[in-house]
Structure 1
Amino acid sequence: MRGTLKTTTLVALAALLLVVPSVQAKKMYRWVDENGNVYFSDQVPPDQVQHKRETLTEKARIVETVEKAKTAEELAQQKRLDALRKEQEKIVAKQAANDKVLLSTFRSLDDMEKALGNKLASFDAKRKVIEGNIERLQSQLLKQEQQAAEHERNGQKVPGKLLDEIAATKQQIGQSNQELADHHSERQNTEKAFRADMARFQFLTQANADAKAANSSLAASNAGNELGLFVCQDAEQCQKAWKLAGEFVAANSSTGPDVETEKLIMRAAPQQDDDLSLSASLLEQGKVRQIFLDIRCRQSSLGNELCNSAKVKSLRQSFAPYLQSGLAAQQ
């Protein structure tokens, strides 16, 4: 039995199914073709298998749904999307591991403040050693240059050994100055990373959901609109785009914040069928930086339907243009 019916006949046909003798015990399939025609049959013809179809009981209840076959372009897009999600999963897993270490290492923010204070004190002590060494070398150079000047005043040739010593001392001073600059940079990076850990610790341990809601922002950039992917031109642009992406994630998610780092911004897991939980991750492939947007829905039939909807597709497609527009406005 194969019939072509418009959607308006569905109710009547569903009623008809109710009186089909159960003796036949055959499965009934329903599908809609590309022209919007609705079909009912106990067999799916080969030229119709590409469409999404539902399996119905004798009471017209849906017991199984088979999604429509994907085109070659859709399959290629899905393959790339899966690869991006794997990269994002690595970032999420790394963040979870870092969170576990953080919570097992420190008991409170006060503990972290003390630990940071000790780290910085150690850096400052080493800085004083380097500065002391530079002062010693500068004093040594001054004496060596005075000796060379004394030789010249006496009309004597400056000994080659002394000239070599002066050159060596200048080289040591240069190396020590570079060491001091590197040390200063390392101290800044250490403090920045530690304070980021402190902010994360506070987020993980605070019980007030309203306070958590205040902890959100940052994320994303340009390329494949279909994938929700933005490719950065350079590090500076990526930094600006990451902030814009954070705004996009916050504005379009219906769940609260969960993770916010330099490489991952993720909202809390969806709890309701109509929840949308967005995340943005910063991926690096060689020298190319990309910001990837992903969208999660609740694991339910309605949630899956939402994630496959035109609304979510449109949201993903609007991600890169949103970043591009925001970046253009900043120029």
Structure 2
Amino acid sequence: MIAARVLLPLVLCWSGLFAIQANAQSIYYRYPGPDGSVVIDSSVPPNAVPRGYDIIRLDGTVVKTVAPKMSDEERKAHELEFGVEEARAAADEKTRKWDESLLLRYSNVQDIDVAKKRAINDIKVRISILKSNLSIIKQQVYSNQGEAAELERRGLAVPSELVDTLASLRREITTTEQHITSRQEELEEVANNYERDKRRFADLQGQVDLRRNYYAKPKK
């Protein structure tokens, strides 16, 4: 009885070892041969690895698949295709967020017209202020230039402070003119963006109306 108790764990242990060995031996590799045939073996030769292979069990079930190594041309084509898909997905996501924003901000096309008018008026006010500032600066330049000219007619040297002031005012004129140009470009861009929003919102409204009409029809 004691011997049986001692032998039973040993038998179970040996059985487990045999099962592990059997499982290890039941893994095979299936890969294409150089002539296109299918080879099943206990290992994959190094020259066959680039062609790809499957790790399979004895019953044929696939444990893992290792894809064939791509050529440079195939890799470039794959990267290009992946890049196109990625760009398409990014564009779709951008459109989705745009649609959500439009539907959250506006109830109808008239709301977009109101927002457009408000934004354009705000930019026009800024342009008007810049033009007013530009006119004041130019008047200062004309005044200082007249003062400098009068000193030169009298044979007197123009003070360096006056020369520096004129140079600073001219730089300010250039900067202000650039700001005016930027605001005018912004005005056109904002107007175009609102018109684009109107067209997209109208499309979305059309889609909603189509669905509403479809589900409102009595089903035969």
TM, length-normalised to structure 2: 0.60
Partner of 1:26: none
Distance 1:176 1:79, change over 3 A: closer
How far apart are 1:71 and its partner, in Å?
9.0
Gaps of 5+ in 1: 1-44, 51-68, 210-331
Counterpart residue number, 1:91? 91
**Cα distance, 1:78 vs structure 2:** 4.0
Deviation per residue, 1:35-77 (Å, 9 max, x gap)? xxxxxxxxxx617xx9xxxxxxxxxxxxxxxxxx989469533
Q: Any residues of structure 2 matched to 1:97-176 within 5 Å, and which? A: 97-176=97-176
Bigger helix share:
2
- Would you tell me which structure has more strand in proportion to its own residues? 1
1:205 equivalent in alignment to 2:193: no
Calculate the aligned-residue CA RMSD, in Å: 2.4
Give the Cα separation in 2 of the matches to 1:130 and 1:115: 23
Rg comparison, structure with higher value: 2
Identity %: 19
> Is 1:188 aligned to residue 188 of structure 2?
yes
Residue 200 of structure 2 aligns with an amino acid whose one-letter code is R
> Which sits farther off after the overlay, 181-190 or 72-81?
72-81
Q: Is there any run of 5+ residues in structure 2 with no aligned partner, and where?
A: 1-36, 40-50, 52-66, 211-220
Deviation at 1:126, TM superposition (A): 0.3
For residues 75 and 164 of structure 1, the distance between their equivalents in structure 2, rounded to whole angstroms, comes to 66
Query: Aligned to 2:177, what secondary structure does the other structure show?
Result: helix
CA offsets 1:170-197 (integer angstroms, 9 cap, x no match): 1111111111111111111121122111
Shift of 1:198: 1.2
Q: State the distance in 2 between where 1:144 and 1:78 align.
A: 68
Distance 1:134 1:78 in 2: 57
Residue 143 of structure 1 and its aligned partner are, at CA, apart by 0.6
1: CA distance between counterparts of 2:82 and 2:155? 80
Matched to 2:152, the amino acid is E
For the residues of structure 2 that align with 1:150 and 1:196, how far apart are their CA atoms? 57
- Which residue identity does 2:38 align to in structure 1? P
Question: Aligned partners of 1:198 and 1:70: how far apart in 2?
Answer: 51
Aligned partner letter, 1:204? L
Partner Cα distance (2:110, 2:158) in 1: 61
Letter in 2 for 1:201: F
* SS in structure 2 at match of 1:107: coil
Deviations 1:152-209, CA, capped at 9 Å, x for gaps: 1222111111111111111111111111111111111121122111111111112577
- TM-score when scaled to structure 1? 0.41
Instruction: Quote the Cα distance in structure 2 between the aligned partners of 1:70 and 1:102.
Output: 47
Say which is worse superposed, 151-160 or 171-180, in terms of deviation.
151-160
- What's the secondary structure of 2:112's corresponding residue? helix
User: Could you say if the C-alpha distance between residues 70 and 177 of structure 1 is closer, same or farther in structure 2, counting changes exceeding 3 Å?
Assistant: same
Question: How far apart are 1:94 and its partner, in Å?
Answer: 1.3
> How far 1:99 moved relative to its partner?
0.5
